[in-house]
C-alpha cells in the first residue's frame, strides 16, 4: 500500500512539476509562484531545502528537468566534475538553465567528493543562472533533457516542439536544431527515451508523436503517430531498458489522458541500416509501427495528468485530477493489474506530477506535486 512519508509545503501556489536527478540525491520543484526549489533526498523523513531559484521567470514555472551526467547515467567520463544542471520552462515562454561551477575541469577523487558534498549542503547556494533560451511564441509547457545532456527538448502552447543542442560541458550556448510543427494543438509534454535519442510529444490534439534523428543529415523527423486516446494526452514516459520486464529490441511507452485511461504502446526499434543515404529531399522517412499493447485497468474518475515508469521495479504510477495515486504491476508480458490505490493524496487538491526518485541510500520512493503547493513523499 502507498504510504505517506512526509509532506512539505514547498510553494505558496500550485506545484506543477518535480524532477529527480538520475545519479545525485537531488529533487527540483516548479510552481505558479515563479520559484524553483531544490531539496536533498537524504533519507526518509529528511529532505532539507538546499536552494531557492526565483529570479529567472516572471510567470508560472511549469516544468523542471535535471541534466543527466556527461556520457549518460551508465557511461560517465572518469575524473570529470560533472556538477548538476537544471532546465526550467515557464509560461513567460522562456527556458532557464541553472548550473553549479564549471563542469569541465579534471579533479582527483577526493576533490570530486568534496565539491559534490558542498553542492548537496543546505548551508550553501552555489547555483547560477547560466543561460536564458528564447524562441517559443507562447507558454512553455515542458522541458526534458536527452540521456547524455546534449539535447534539450521543449514544447509549448504555440503547438511546436523545439530541440536545442548544447555543449553539455559548458551549458552557456544553445542552438535550435529543429522546430517540429506536427501537432495541431497545444503540446503538453515532451519526454526522451532513457537510453536512445528518441523523443515523444503529447498534445491537446489527442495524439502522441515520436521523433527520431536521421544519422545521415542530422534532421529530426516524425517517425510515428500514436492515435487511440479520446482526449488530451497529458503525459508519456518511456520504459527504461534496465527495467526488469524490458525487451531491448522493443520500445514501450506509457501515456495518460483526459479520457481517464493509461495505455501502453509498443514498437520495434528502428534499425541503423534502415536509414538511407539518399538526399533528404527525396528520401522517404522510415516510420515506426506503434500498437496499443495494453489499456491498464480502469482506476481514475477524472483526467490522468501524470505517469511514471520505474526502471528498478518496472511498476507504473499514475496520478491526476481525482487526487488518486495508482500503482500498476505487470504480471506477464503486456498483462497489468492494479497493485494499490491511494485516495485524496493531496486532500481535495489535484495532483499535477508524479515521479519515481532515489534516496541517498538508493532506495526508491514516489514524489508528487499538487495544486495545494505541497510536495509529498511516498513509500510505494
Chain centre distance of CA 255: 13
Inter-residue contact 101 to 83 (CB < 8 Å): yes
Residue 66 covered by a domain? yes
Interval 171-179 mean pLDDT = 90
What single string gives the DSSP state of each residue in 320-370? Answer: ETT--EEEEEEEETTEEEEEEEES-EEEESPEEEEEEEE-TTS-EEEEEEE
- Strand segments, DSSP code E, in 167-290 are 174-180, 187-192, 198-203, 208-213, 220-226, 233-238, 250-257, 262-268
Residue 361 covered by a domain? yes
Reported confidence tier of residue 197, pLDDT bands at 50, 70, 90: very high
For 64, 71, 125, the CA distances from 29, given in Å and listed in that order, are 7, 25, 16
Give the number of other CB atoms < 10 A from CB of residue 114: 12
Residue 289 covered by a domain? no
What percent of the chain has a predicted confidence (pLDDT) above 90? 72
- Predicted confidence at residue 287, as pLDDT, reads 78
Q: CB-based contacts of 321: which residues, under 8 Å, 6+ apart?
A: 300, 302, 303, 304, 305, 350, 351
Q: Which tens digits make up the pLDDT trace of 224-280?
A: 999 999 999 999 999 999 999 999 899 999 999 999 999 999 999 876 534 444 344
**The cell 511546436 sits on which residue?**
160
Which H/E stretch holds residue 277?
none
Reported confidence tier of residue 125, pLDDT bands at 50, 70, 90: low
Residue 20 covered by a domain? yes
- Predicted confidence at residue 111, as pLDDT, reads 63
Inter-residue contact 314 to 245 (CB < 8 Å): yes
Residue whose C-alpha is closest to residue 276's, from 217, 320, 220: 217
Higher pLDDT, 189 or 217: 189
Which grid cell is 136? 517559443
Inter-residue contact 200 to 206 (CB < 8 Å): no
Interval 333-354 mean pLDDT = 96
Distance (Å, whole) CA 376 – CA 38: 14
Residue 200 covered by a domain? no
Distance (Å, whole) CA 266 – CA 268: 7
Interval 17-27 mean pLDDT = 93
Which H/E stretch holds residue 111?
helix 109-119
Which H/E stretch holds residue 104?
none
Residue whose C-alpha is closest to residue 50's, from 16, 84, 89, 15: 84
CATH at 324: 2.130.10.10
Residue 45 covered by a domain? yes
Reported confidence tier of residue 223, pLDDT bands at 50, 70, 90: very high
What percent of the chain has a predicted confidence (pLDDT) above 70? 87
Interval 174-179 mean pLDDT = 94
Reported confidence tier of residue 362, pLDDT bands at 50, 70, 90: confident
Reported confidence tier of residue 295, pLDDT bands at 50, 70, 90: very high
How does 149-167 read in b/e, with b if 16+ C-beta sit within 10 Å? bbbbbbbbbbbbbbbbbbe
Is the confidence at residue 298, as pLDDT, over 90? yes
Q: Choose from 97-106, 129-138, 185-194 the range with maximum mean pLDDT.
A: 185-194
Structural domain range at position 71: 3-175+244-252+304-379
Residue 298 covered by a domain? no
Reported confidence tier of residue 329, pLDDT bands at 50, 70, 90: very high
Interval 340-356 mean pLDDT = 97
Q: Does residue 272 sit in helix, strand or coil?
A: helix
**The cell 498534445 sits on which residue?**
203
Burial of 116 per CB tally in 10 Å (0-12, 13-18, 19+): middle
Residue 206 covered by a domain? no
Q: Which of 73-77, 308-312, 362-366 shows the lowest per-residue confidence on average (mean pLDDT)?
A: 73-77
Q: What is the mean pLDDT of the chain?
A: 89
Q: Does residue 258 sit in helix, strand or coil?
A: coil
Q: Which tens digits make up the pLDDT trace of 38-80?
A: 999 987 778 999 889 988 899 999 999 999 988 778 776 655 5
- Predicted confidence at residue 193, as pLDDT, reads 97
Q: How many domains does the chain have?
A: 1
Amino acid at each position: 500500500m502507498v504510504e505517506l512519508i512526509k509532506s512539505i509545503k514547498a510553494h505558496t501556489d500550485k506545484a506543477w512539476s518535480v524532477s529527480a536527478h538520475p545519479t545525485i540525491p537531488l529533487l527540483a520543484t516548479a510552481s505558479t509562484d515563479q520559484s524553483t526549489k531544490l531539496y536533498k533526498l537524504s533519507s526518509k523523513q529528511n529532505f532539507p531545502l538546499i536552494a531557492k531559484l526565483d529570479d529567472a521567470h516572471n510567470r508560472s514555472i511549469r516544468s523542471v528537468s535535471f541534466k543527466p551526467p556527461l556520457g549518460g547515467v551508465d557511461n560517465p567520463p572518469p575524473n570529470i566534475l560533472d556538477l548538476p544542471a537544471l532546465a526550467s520552462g515557464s509560461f513567460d515562454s522562456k527556458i532557464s538553465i541553472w548550473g553549479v561551477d564549471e563542469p569541465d575541469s579534471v579533479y582527483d577523487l577526493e576533490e570530486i567528493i568534496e565539491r559534490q558534498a558542498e553542492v548537496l549542503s543546505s548551508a550553501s547556494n552555489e547555483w547560477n543562472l547560466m543561460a536564458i533560451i528564447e524562441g517559443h511564441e507562447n507558454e512553455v509547457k515542458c522541458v526534458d533533457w536527452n540521456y547524455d545532456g546534449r539535447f534539450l527538448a521543449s514544447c509549448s502552447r504555440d503547438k511546436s516542439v523545439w530541440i536545442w543542442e548544447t555543449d553539455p560541458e559548458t551549458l552557456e550556448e544553445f542552438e535550435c536544431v529543429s522546430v517540429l510543427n506536427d501537432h495541431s494543438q497545444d503540446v503538453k509534454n515532451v519526454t526522451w527515451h532513457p537510453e536512445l535519442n528518441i523523443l515523444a510529444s503529447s498534445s491537446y490534439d489527442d495524439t502522441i508523436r515520436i521523433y527520431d534523428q536521421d544519422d545521415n543529415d542530422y534532421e529530426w523527423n516524425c517517425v510515428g503517430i500514436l492515435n487511440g486516446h479520446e482526449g488530451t494526452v497529458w503525459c508519456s514516459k518511456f520504459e527504461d531498458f534496465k527495467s526488469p520486464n524490458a525487451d531491448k529490441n522493443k520500445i514501450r511507452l506509457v501515456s495518460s489522458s483526459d479520457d481517464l485511461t493509461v495505455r501502453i504502446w509498443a514498437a520495434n526499434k528502428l534499425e541503423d541500416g534502415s536509414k538511407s543515404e539518399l538526399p533528404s529531399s527525396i528520401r522517404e522517412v522510415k516510420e515506426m509501427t506503434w500498437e496499443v499493447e495494453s489499456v491498464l485497468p480502469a482506476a481514475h474518475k477524472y483526467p490522468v495528468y501524470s505517469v511514471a515508469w520505474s526502471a528498478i521495479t518496472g511498476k507504473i504510477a499514475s496520478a491526476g485530477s481525482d487526487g488518486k495515486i495508482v500503482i500498476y504491476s505487470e504480471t506477464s508480458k503486456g498483462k497489468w493489474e492494479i497493485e494499490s490505490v491511494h485516495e485524496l493524496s493531496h486532500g481535495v487538491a489535484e495532483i499535477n506530477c508524479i515521479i519515481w526518485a532515489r534516496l541517498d541510500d538508493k532506495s526508491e520512493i514516489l514524489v508528487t506535486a499538487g495544486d495545494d503547493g505541497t510536495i509529498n513523499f511516498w513509500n510505494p
